[in-house]
Chain A
Amino acid sequence: KNQVEQSPQSLIILEGKNCTLQCNYTVSPFSNLRWYKQDTGRGPVSLTIMTFSENTKSNGRYTATLDADTKQSSLHITASQLSDSASYICVVSASSFSGGYNKLIFGAGTRLAVHP
């Protein structure tokens, strides 16, 4: 069964500190992995997208890593800001054997709260 699991479920950090969010997946066949940021009650916004051959990708203070062998990814946030408070969702795309749509499998997300 295709699954994406994220940890921790929630996290509280102080402004200016760094943090790392984890994502483990069992999705086959793997197409790509994305990290989204979702503010409460809003739609997710893409942070990074990585294919099988990419190990790391950065977007400002956000750096995502991918280990396709162990099927693990992490999202590292540097020098956190109050505006980083949101849910961070790991999404793995599974290719369809027969072509056609790429099925996205979402994790439940990590709720990050950044306190002053």
Chain B
Amino acid sequence: ETGVTQSPTHLIKTRGQQVTLRCSSQSGHNTVSWYQQALGQGPQFIFQYYREEENGRGNFPPRFSGLQFPNYSSELNVNALELDDSALYLCASSLGDEGEQYFGPGTRLTVT
């Protein structure tokens, strides 16, 4: 176990709804990165938060947004859900943006 936890484990939403996924980072880590992994594909970088500020973003539309809290836990919010948003969402925590990333178990999101 990496010490990174995510909730919920599974989630089913309908198209157009909004969803919030949560991640608790490993103790001592101040950086959280979020990834989207479609079935049979490698993870795609969504964004990274370092000390409560967005520190980099991948090719995802603005309806994907996030937050990092003072305790370095993080949220991923997705608005106006689309069918293609169905995926495993992974978060990874690290000490600094160049530190080794430790992944959580993921949240499986299904959009119907």
Interface residues of A (CB under 8 A from B): 4, 31, 36, 41-46, 49, 89, 91, 93, 96, 100-109
Contacts and interface: CB of A to CB of B under 8 A. Distances in A.
Given A43-B90, A46-B100, A101-B97, A107 B42 contact: yes
Contacts, number: 60
A73 to B, nearest CB: 15
B103 A100 contact: no
Contacts of B2: 43, 45
Interface of B: 2, 4, 33, 35, 40-45, 48, 50, 55-56, 58, 88, 90, 92, 97-98, 100-106, 108
Contacts of B101: 46, 104
Given A42-B106, A43-B90, A100-B55, A108 B40 contact: yes
A106 B98 CA distance: 16
Contact of B104 (A43, A91, A106): A43
B4 A103 contact: no
A7 to B, nearest CB: 13
A106 B44 contact: yes
23 contacts: A4-B42, A41-B88, A41-B105, A42-B106, A43-B2, A43-B106, A44-B43, A44-B103, A45-B2, A46-B100, A46-B102, A89-B43, A93-B98, A100-B97, A101-B50, A101-B55, A101-B56, A102-B97, A104-B33, A104-B101, A105-B45, A106-B43, A106-B45
